[in-house]
Structure 1
Amino acid sequence: MAQQIAQKLRLTSAVLGTVTRKDLAAAFRAVNPNTAFDLGRADKWLQGRARPRQMSVYDDWARLLELEQSGAWIAESDLRAFTAAIAARHGVDSAELERRAGMQFDASSHDERGAGSGLAGTYACYSRAWSPYYRGQLIKGRLSIEAGPGVHGLTATYGETLPTGHLQLVGPVMPAKRGVYLHLKDVGGDTQFFLCLFPQTQPVSVLGGYMCGSAVIGPEAQPSLTRILLVRLRDAATGAGTWGGYLPAGSSIAADLVSLGIGLEHPEAVDRQLDRFLDAYSDDGAIQIPPGEFRAILDVFDRHWLQHAG
């Protein structure tokens, strides 16, 4: 199945030196005057909203890049392999190629990138712990949003310092009219978090919404949901090296923010307000499905499936 087409097209444009969508379409026509690569569809492909269905587009693409690999390989390869192949073929450093790709079509994608206006920065994140060993406690993380490749040009890095080591997840930031979405993946494992946040409003002092994932520390896998607050810091270096992890029971978020350079008036009232936000729907603020409840349902449907197998 074709994957990461938008990023691959940007890398292709970067290595060819094409500036606009029209330039890229002209390059495809140069190798095949009857190519199925056209401006109308290319706009959706470059925004990641669709991908070419005709195999001939990928065949033309392979000819355009003068690759030994087939069009099918271009469609199905992962982004790292694709980047390495075209960088080697055209004698360009991979890191430099990725940097150029991140700058492609800036003018024509102004609206998409504008949706993320003001989001870049560093945030102190507070949510309720999912681990059964820290039930009811707050967990603190650090989120950095920076310019990067992709339609919206934003990449997020989220980290927590846990008793088992440092957890770091990276992924795209996808601002939209109805919300801000982040899909974060562990750079060294298989942990994934998904954040669905309220749309940002200027001056983007705080973000809030839901974080969904599975507890990292615990005897069983549990799909989990919690509300999360992301407080933007004026100085990204504040508290560097002392970030994250489980906060002691009864900890004050307002007091913790003071250590990060944010001193709020009436801290007791602020703490009550933040606690109400984070603790909605359950006593400890986290919503989790007990594994036993799901296993009981699994038993019903597994038995029915097996009884009617074949």
Structure 2
Amino acid sequence: MNIDRKLRLTAAFVGAGTRKDLAAAFRKVNPLTAFDVDRADKWLQGRSTPRQFSVYEDWIRLIDLPMPADWIIDCDVDTFIEQVCSHHGKERAQLERRAAAFGKPSAPEDDRGATIAGRYVCYSHSWSPYFRGQLIRGVLSIEQENGPQRLTATYSEQLPTMPLKLKGPVTVSRRSVSISVSGGAEDVSLFFSLLPFSPPGSVLGGYMMGGTILGPDSQPSVTRMVLVRIKDDSTTNLESAYLEPGVTVPQDLARFGLKLHQPDLADEHLQRFLTRSVEGGADQVSREDFQRLVELFDRAWLGR
């Protein structure tokens, strides 16, 4: 049956990093699902299997395959992977790699030396009333200090009135990446709350919070943000932080030497991720939307 491996592969497919994330994915397809977080711990260890058939019915809906629910029980792992990948256009090696990492604590550095440290070009929505509706570009550099567990970030923007340069600590945990930077003549503080990092770390995503800098008053503000890793030798000396109207993120990324094979599709995924949710009053980024970006930018970063 290999239910434990199939569950980990399912977690990788839906972008879940923990048992709670996986349970939340099951609740999306059925709010009354019998998938239980505590029992899932035993299932993931291979110590037992779900006894209620409704779990498999919810499961087949979650992975969205045209199969009966008991197919999950009967098929071997290779067939399970093949069907998920072929039906949804996933890359097998990447899915297996993420499945193997499921539930394990994230670290700034993995066994292969791939780290979150590096340079990222960042895209978010302008907070300034003078540039309403435009995207703004920043550059984030993450460096190791005194060992891989201590990380420092430097965030910069080339604003019309001044260059902005802020520094602060980076915290990488199993559930998130948090960055708090401050400084500058205006005593600016910004906080980044990002989805968990996973190698090769071609893209990060989440929220940036702080106060408006260009405007008559400082207003508490938040924006979705995408951070795309760029090569260390890429130039970042650009004249303005604000993208001109009509310029897409993939077009701007080309200035940093990153050319995507499907720029129109990339732009569609980026726009979807950067557009805030209006459901229930709370804005929460979709793991599915972020996973699309991960697959797209991982391929570009690895030259696939």
Task: Specify the TM-score bucket, using the shorter chain as the normaliser.
Answer: 0.5 to 0.7
1:122 lines up with 2:119 in the alignment: yes
1:202 is matched with which residue? 199
By how many angstroms is 1:153 displaced? 1.2
1:159 lines up with 2:156 in the alignment: yes
1:261 lines up with 2:257 in the alignment: yes
1:246 lines up with 2:238 in the alignment: no
By how many angstroms is 1:188 displaced? 3.5
By how many angstroms is 1:187 displaced? 3.8
Residues matched between the structures, number = 170
- Across the aligned residues of Structure 1 and Structure 2, the Cα RMSD in angstroms comes to 2.1
Please give the secondary structure, in 2, of the residue aligned with 1:159: strand
Mapping for residues 66-85 of structure 1, pairs under 5 Å: none
By how many angstroms is 1:179 displaced? 0.2
By how many angstroms is 1:150 displaced? 8.7
1:110 is matched with which residue? none
- Residues 257 and 231 of structure 1: CA distance in aligned 2, closer, same or farther (over 3 Å): same
Pick from 161, 164, 169 the counterpart of residue 166 of structure 2: 169
Which amino acid in structure 2 is aligned with residue 255 of structure 1? Answer: Q
1:147 lines up with 2:147 in the alignment: no
2:266 is matched with which residue? 270
Once residues 137 and 252 of structure 1 are traced to their aligned partners in structure 2, the CA distance between those partners, rounded to angstroms, is 11
- Residues 187 and 142 of structure 1: CA distance in aligned 2, closer, same or farther (over 3 Å): same
Mapping for residues 176-191 of structure 1, pairs under 5 Å: 176-191=173-188
- Residues 268 and 114 of structure 1: CA distance in aligned 2, closer, same or farther (over 3 Å): closer
1:226 is matched with which residue? 223
Q: Please, what TM-score do these two structures have when normalized by structure 1?
A: 0.52
Structure 1 runs of 4+ aligned residues shifted over 3 Å read none
Are the aligned partners of 2:203 and 2:227 in contact in 1 as well (CA < 8 Å)?
yes
Structure 1: unaligned runs, 5 residues or longer = 1-112, 288-310
Q: Please, what TM-score do these two structures have when normalized by structure 2?
A: 0.53
Structure 2: unaligned runs, 5 residues or longer = 1-104, 110-114, 284-304
Once residues 148 and 130 of structure 2 are traced to their aligned partners in structure 1, the CA distance between those partners, rounded to angstroms, is 40
Are the aligned partners of 1:122 and 1:142 in contact in 2 as well (CA < 8 Å)?
yes
- Percent identity of the aligned residues? 44
Once residues 121 and 206 of structure 2 are traced to their aligned partners in structure 1, the CA distance between those partners, rounded to angstroms, is 14
2:214 is matched with which residue? 217
Once residues 147 and 262 of structure 2 are traced to their aligned partners in structure 1, the CA distance between those partners, rounded to angstroms, is 41
Once residues 127 and 149 of structure 2 are traced to their aligned partners in structure 1, the CA distance between those partners, rounded to angstroms, is 31
- Residues 196 and 252 of structure 1: CA distance in aligned 2, closer, same or farther (over 3 Å): same
Once residues 187 and 152 of structure 1 are traced to their aligned partners in structure 2, the CA distance between those partners, rounded to angstroms, is 26
Which amino acid in structure 2 is aligned with residue 139 of structure 1? Answer: I
Per-residue CA distance 1:181-207 (angstroms, 9 max, x = gap): 000002433100000001101110000
1:9 is matched with which residue? none
